[in-house]
Structure 1
Amino acid sequence: MVQALLTRTARADDPAPMTRNDYSIEFYQGPLIAPIRVTGLAGAYTAYAEGVEGTASNASAPAVREPFSHKWFDYDISAGISFPGAFAGSDFDNRGRRGNTGTTQFSDFLYVNLGLQLQFGGLGMAVTSDLQQFKLTPATETDPGLTLQTNRSHIVAAYGFWGNQVSLGLGLRVVALQISQTGQFVPGRTLVSMLGAAPEVGALYKPDGAPFRVGATLRAPVSAGPRGESATTRDNDGVERADKFILPAKIVQPWEAELGVALQAGPRPLNPAWLNPHEQEAPVRDAIAEARTRREREHEAKLAAAPPNRRRELERTIAEQEDAVRRIEDMRLEAESERLLAQRRARYANWPREKILMVASVLFTGPSDDSVDVGSFLDQKKEPFGRNVTVMPRFAIEAEPVHDRVRGRIGAYLEPSRFPEGNARQHLTCGADIKLFPFDAWGLIGATTWRISFAVDLAPRYTNWGVGIGAWH
């Protein structure tokens, strides 16, 4: 969520100035601020939900096994950087005509996302964090500027049932917001900050061999009282202030519900059955365990029948023989594991690459009572914001126009306005992955072929672009 701060000309219908602490700041993100691939797909990722990038879109994503996940334990990492509102004239909170009646004062935008995902068979866990920072007003020699920092984190655990065909996830959505005074010639301080958390749940259905997926996620509202510095004051009327700002009673992020579908055309399978290495290796493991149990009983019988004066020597002989047999069995199991791993990799490598992936979703965002946006907080005016449920439809297509070299995507979404008189605006997104070269980081990781990715989001009065790096599959 990033809010535009505009110097607006006075009008007869200007909202009333704030006089009490009886309002909330709504932490709402209208334009899509997300990892690179998710941005290129216009945010319609709820039903695809693969990789650590899917965690913010669907809480069940950590349990989803990707087609190239061949081992019982697997991991995924992601990192990206983008520059939302990188050009002058941006209208982040979609004020429309009111957003164009003055001079934009915010600048120095930065968005960074990091994520880590660990998978153990059907169990998956993930932590992702999105940091946004930008200046609301510039600092001068006499007045400090204002900087807004927001952080959204997801801490999620999920499990895949029925051979990973159904995934269910549960976790926490953690939201932090801070507005600070900063300046070179004047001391800075935190005016207001908020830290809150609420549960989120997600589900994904992807039947083996089917060319479709269905996903859904629900995020409870996050609410927390603001925390100002000790320098906050309370006047005779009981109104709490930080510097010249009347503080809100709380900061909120409304509930969200999203439904999505994914459909893939072409010879490449969308939902290949995931082959669990432990299940594939189970016959060999079970046979070895049974043979060891049988030998143990035989050894006990031999020792019981042996004369007492020969038992110690017999124990030593049996132990040496058993150790040699177990080494052979371990080598057999290792060889079988390697054979099955090579088989799974060959199965993946032999799939055709031709595909057209189509994804769509609808995001519902709940209302907030007595809320304003950050721009209204800075103006200290009670302009209504987020009073009704808003709906954001999303759609995108992904394909591989250059075989095994370039993967491209294009999409669109309709951003609603949270202002009562605002109008929705259309966004066009696009992006691509470009295959680079193998690199094992000087032996620190396995041999990996890397890719560079980029995404662009274009809309009236708004532009966002970003780059990232990851593994090519």
Structure 2
Amino acid sequence: MRALALLSLGVVLGLAPGAWAQDAPLAEPRSERLYVNTGVLLGSTRMVALGGAYVGIAEGTAGFASNLAALAHRSPQLDKDWDVGVTLSWLDVPLTSRLRRDLDNDGAPDEAPSSRQYLFGLLLQYKYFGLGTFLRNRTVSYRATAEDDSEDYIQVAVTQSALAGALAFGQDEFIVSLGIYSAQATLAYKKEEWRYGGTGLSLDLLFRPQARPYRVGISVRPQVVGDWQRKDEQEPVLAGRPIYAGLVAPATLSLGVSYRFGEGAHRYNRLSPAARRQLLADGALNVPEEEAPDAPAGNFLVSGQVDFISSAENAVALRSVATFSDPEPVGQTVLIQPHLGAEHDTWPGRVRTRLGIFVEPSSFEGQVPRPHLTGGFEVFLFRYWEDWAFSASFDLAKRYSNVGFSVGFWR
């Protein structure tokens, strides 16, 4: 009987190799991580038009993608305890062929047939508090094969977002924000998706002293590392290429300052009627006198900013998912990116014009920094519940161009 049992067991194991195969480990992706940071501007039309120099301004829904302290920064016209802000920006309307653009500044065209960018922001304020979220998305499509007439594409979508709260201290002079910052990437090919994602804590600050024509802002974005989120028994192979183990968004420290010029520039940081009323109700001392809503507050704004972008270990360019050659390492050194912008109230209460410059460093070794010229305008549209405005921006550089449009509130 014992011999018969052993023989039966041997037959079962010999006829069922699939049972062993199911326990075999799945293939693993490459060890490198996709580098999701980009030097080109991804933000509101006002931020882009000012050359990215927005950390030291930090106002409105256009501002908190750069400095989350804007969540508790009340408009000088606010006359109620609460406020709501919303913005929707459509970016990446190129002036030249997308195939010839160089998004990552590696010195060569990306040969990406299509791309798009958008920004959504929502802001809720109540007295000293602010709460909000923004979502910034960039999607690029690459050909899956080397043939120019191929209709097979690999779509790469990168999303950076935050959910944060902010609190204003004193006479709204010092604002602190703490938030959850996330970076995500999705690779899509033939109805299948490969996802990556990670989160970290952000800390943003704004100093806006009363009766002074300047502001100082600081923004700290954490390094975010996210692993590939494998679904069931998904293989780490995309269009015949191995995918990568994760993503990395480098840490960024941004320091900014803005300064108002012209008649009434000292009103740059004036209190809103709601803030002044609240301070009086709380028994605060030395509350500034109330001023007319249409009192001049300077008609010319200059803003400067410097970004320090950390290095990233074992990182490769995002477009590596669509290349057959060995990926090139990127982000191996600390990068410095300066910004400068100016805004003029060309027709007070109706039209603002903007101009800016910034220098985009390259995360690729041996590539020189790339200067950008930016600009744009904002036009008051109409008043319905709120004051609505339309704005546009442009960003021009070697091997790169971008036009953006936005609808939001006039502030």
Shorter-normalised TM range: 0.7 to 0.9
- Secondary structure of the 1:38 match is helix
CA 1:220–1:282: 2 relative to 1, 3 Å: closer
How many residue pairs are counted as aligned between the two chains? Answer: 370
Tell me by how many angstroms 1:76 deviates: 1.0
**Separation in 2, partners of 1:363, 1:84:** 25
* Equivalences for residues 197-208 of structure 1 within 5 A: 197-208=199-210
Correspondence for 2:252 among 245, 250, 256: 256
Q: Which residue of 62, 73, 76 corresponds with 2:85?
A: 76
Change (3 A) 1:270 1:228: same
Q: Deviations over 1:43-62 (max 9, x none)?
A: 11101100122111112221
Once residues 410 and 280 of structure 1 are traced to their aligned partners in structure 2, the CA distance between those partners, rounded to angstroms, is: 39
In the alignment, the residues of structure 2 paired with residue 405 and residue 278 of structure 1 have an alpha-carbon distance, to the nearest angstrom, of 30
1:436 to 368, 381, 400: 381
The aligned amino acid for 1:376 is S
Query: SS of the residue aligned with 2:408?
Result: strand
| Offset of residue 200 of structure 1 | 0.3
Write the letter of the residue equivalent to 1:203: L
* Letter paired with 1:218: V
Check conservation: 1:232, 1:242, Cα contact below 8 A.
no
- SS of the residue aligned with 1:61? helix
Report whether the alignment pairs 1:212 with 2:214: yes
Match of residue 151 from structure 1: 159
Report if aligned partners of 1:86, 1:109 keep a CA contact under 8 Å in 2.
no
SS at match of 1:42: coil
| Inter-CA distance 405–143: structure 2 relative to 1 (3 Å threshold) | closer
Equivalent-residue separation in structure 2 for 1:265 and 1:142 (angstroms): 55
Q: Tell me the CA shift for residue 232 of structure 1.
A: 3.9
How far has the Cα of 1:109 moved from its partner?
1.9
Instruction: Identify the residue that residue 174 of structure 1 maps to in structure 2.
Output: 182
Q: Separation in 2 of the partners of 1:40 and 1:143?
A: 35
Q: Do structure 1's residue 423 and structure 2's residue 363 form an aligned pair? A: no
1:175-194 matched pairs, under 5 angstroms: 175-182=183-190, 188-190=191-193, 192-194=194-196
Contact 1:131/1:152 (8 A) holds in 2? yes
* Structure 2 residue aligned with 1:397: 342
Question: 1:404 Cα shift?
Answer: 2.7
One of 13, 17, 23 as aligned partner of 2:32? 23
Query: Can you give the 5+ residue segments of structure 1 that lack an aligned partner in the other structure?
Result: 1-18, 183-187, 234-239, 284-342, 441-445
Q: After TM superposition, give the deviation of residue 229 of structure 1 in Å.
A: 4.7
Residue 278 (structure 1) aligns with? 278
Q: Does 1:116 align with 2:60?
A: no
Q: Distance in 2 between matches of 1:354 and 1:242?
A: 55
Indicate if the aligned counterparts of 1:49 and 1:61 stay in contact, CA closer than 8 A. Answer: yes
CA-CA distance at 1:201 after TM superposition: 0.1
Q: Cα RMSD between the aligned structures?
A: 2.3
Kindly state the Cα deviation for residue 73 of structure 1 after the two structures are TM-superposed. Answer: 1.1
Per-residue displacement from partner, 1:267-300 (whole Å, max 9, x unpaired)? 23211134343344568xxxxxxxxxxxxxxxxx
Counterpart residue number, 1:95: 106
Structure 1 residues 73 and 437, CA gap change in structure 2 (3 angstroms): closer
Partners of 1:107 and 1:214 lie apart in 2 by: 41
Q: Would you say 1:461 and 2:406 are equivalent positions? A: no
Partner of 1:324: none
| Amino acid across the alignment from 2:278 | H
Give the conservation status (yes or no) of the 8 Å contact 1:232–1:243: no
Q: TM-score if structure 2 supplies the norm length? A: 0.84
Measure the CA separation in 2 of the matches of 1:384 and 1:51: 38
Given that 1:71 and 1:277 are in contact with CA atoms closer than 8 Å, whether structure 2 keeps it comes out as: no
Deviation at 1:142, TM superposition (A): 8.1
Farther-moved stretch of structure 1 (64-73 vs 41-50): 64-73
Change (3 A) 1:260 1:244: same
Look up the match of 1:336: none
Specify whether residues 106 and 242 from structure 1 end up closer, same or farther in structure 2 by C-alpha distance, changes over 3 A only: closer
Structure with a larger share of its residues in strand: 2
Equivalent position amino acid for 1:416 in 2: P
- The DSSP-based 3-state class of the residue aligned with 2:103 is coil
Q: Would the aligned equivalents of 1:41 and 1:430 in 2 still touch at CA under 8 Å?
A: yes
> What's the offset of the Cα at 1:397?
0.4
Q: Give 4+ residue runs of structure 1 displaced > 6 Å after superposition.
A: 138-143
Aligned counterpart in structure 2 of residue 409 of structure 1, from 337, 354, 363:
354
Q: Deviations 1:373-413 (Å, cap 9, x if unpaired)? A: 02233225131100001010000000112233210010000
More displaced, 397-406 or 385-394? 397-406
Letter aligned with residue 403 of structure 2? W
TM-score (norm 1): 0.74
Structure with bigger helix share is 1
Give the structure 1 partner of residue 223 of structure 2: 221
Greater shift in the superposed pair: 266-275 or 206-215: 266-275
Given candidates 281, 306, 328, the residue that maps to 1:383 is: 328
